[in-house]
A = this chain, B = another copy of it.
Amino acid sequence: MEKIKVVQMGLGPIGNKETQYLLERNTVEIVGAIDSDPAKAGQDVAALAGLPPIGVEVSTDVEQVLRRGGVDVLVLTTTSGLASVHGQLAQLLPYRVHIVSSCEELSYPWQTNHDLSARIDRLARDNGVAVLSTGVNPGFLMDFLPLVLTGVCRKVSRIRVERIQDATFRRIPFQQKIGAGLTPQGFAEKVKAGTLRHVGLTESIQMIAASLGWTLDRTEDIITPIIAERQTRTEAMEVKAGDALGVQQIGRGVVAGEERITMVFRAAIGEPDSRDRILIEGDPTIDSTIQGGVNGDVATCAMLTNAIPSILKAPPGLRTMADFAPHHFL
């Protein structure tokens, strides 16, 4: 079987991890690498990921990498935002490469920005390729997996998803990302600036609702700090009583005046009972828990990698994980 030719674009922490995962598979071959950072240009993409070089240099120039053709799939791990990923897709799609992306807002953009979604869809169709954003969340645990579980349901009245993570032993950037150690005021400022937010709850709610045929009145996405009752210490930091241990983010999907979809995302130092839980109230009711939860970094890159063979078979256009969902409740 011929190997799938892949270009890796966006060489931050997720992109470099993705390089490692791609190199483990004998079904794919990295044939190019792109990053906008001139400091990375000319470096070997595998070396950048901490592995022995493979003879593929990072380029800052999309055209230089793609104009020679022969690329099947481009893995795009550059941004969380729809507007910026649209700009990149507009440049990439004319080279007729399928795209697998980790861009959270691209995971289910149809309701948030129908116009931009339609433009991406058209561009992909015109070039005969498929675009998919996936990952662990959004893309799996809080949307796709609940949808799959509804496949055995005769009735579905309500869906609640909980993703609870103890950040005590996670890396420092993760602890910082969730606001651990911030004063309530510092936390509020970061929320206001939009830099302390898990992107994707709204997209997950919209994907579920649209797939089940539920029309949303509105969605909510509310971020609050989880406050330390007493002084708490990890290897990496100390959190004073009254400061934030981390974040709680609640998403709600309201259908005909009733909250029918609830998402609880909580990541904090010392948070008990890490888990990914899905509760489908229906017939039958399904109460499914992944004990300990799923590590997000590993799972996102695994999902991007596992999606590569599927995207080649997908119909052209802007695809979402909902398109890959099998028989779900409708």
A112 close to B (CB within 8 Å): no
How would residues 284 to 325 of chain A score, 1 for a CB under 8 Å from any chain B CB and 0 otherwise?
Answer: 101111111011001101110111011000000000010011
Q: Give the distance to chain B from A274, nearest Cβ to Cβ, in Å.
A: 12
Verify B321–A326 contact, CB threshold 8 A: yes
Q: Which chain B residue lies CB-closest to A20?
A: B154
| Cα–Cα, bound, A327→B304 (Å) | 9
Q: Give the distance to chain B from A210, nearest Cβ to Cβ, in Å.
A: 14
Verify B309–A329 contact, CB threshold 8 A: no
Taken together, the copies of this chain in the complex come to 2
Q: Which chain B residue lies CB-closest to A309?
A: B330
Verify B284–A154 contact, CB threshold 8 A: no
How would residues 120 to 160 of chain A score, 1 for a CB under 8 Å from any chain B CB and 0 otherwise?
Answer: 00000000000000101000110011001111111000000
| Cα–Cα, bound, A27→B149 (Å) | 20
Verify A310–B326 contact, CB threshold 8 A: yes
A40 close to B (CB within 8 Å): no
A24 close to B (CB within 8 Å): yes
A63 close to B (CB within 8 Å): no
Q: A154-B305, A310-B326, A327-B324 are contacts. A290–B286 as well, Cβ < 8 Å? A: yes
Question: What total of chain A residues lie within 8 Å of the partner, measured CB to CB?
Answer: 45
Chain B contacts for A325, CB-based, 8 A: 326
Verify B144–A326 contact, CB threshold 8 A: yes
A328 close to B (CB within 8 Å): yes
Chain B contacts for A151, CB-based, 8 A: 140, 302-303, 306
| Cα–Cα, bound, A93→B327 (Å) | 22
Q: Which chain B residue lies CB-closest to A136?
A: B152
Q: Give the distance to chain B from A132, nearest Cβ to Cβ, in Å.
A: 9
Q: A152-B140, A288-B290, A289-B289 are contacts. A327–B298 as well, Cβ < 8 Å? A: no
A283 close to B (CB within 8 Å): yes
A21 close to B (CB within 8 Å): yes
Chain B contacts for A27, CB-based, 8 A: 330
Chain B contacts for A327, CB-based, 8 A: 134, 303, 306-307, 309-310, 324
Cβ contact of A329, chosen from B149, B154, B291, B306, cutoff 8 A: B306
Cβ contact of A330, chosen from B286, B298, B306, B321, cutoff 8 A: B306
Q: Which of A40-62 contact B (CB under 8 A)?
A: none
| Cα–Cα, bound, A27→B212 (Å) | 13
| Cα–Cα, bound, A243→B309 (Å) | 51
Verify B288–A288 contact, CB threshold 8 A: yes
| Cα–Cα, bound, A140→B151 (Å) | 9
Q: Give the distance to chain B from A133, nearest Cβ to Cβ, in Å.
A: 13
| Cα–Cα, bound, A327→B310 (Å) | 6
Q: Which chain B residue lies CB-closest to A21?
A: B154
Q: Which chain B residue lies CB-closest to A279?
A: B291
A-B contact pairs, 7 of them (CB 8 A): A153-B302, A283-B298, A284-B299, A286-B294, A288-B290, A302-B329, A324-B326
Binding site for B on A (CB under 8 A): 21, 24, 27, 134, 136, 140-141, 144-145, 148-154, 283-284, 286-292, 294-295, 298-299, 301-303, 305-307, 309-310, 321, 324-330
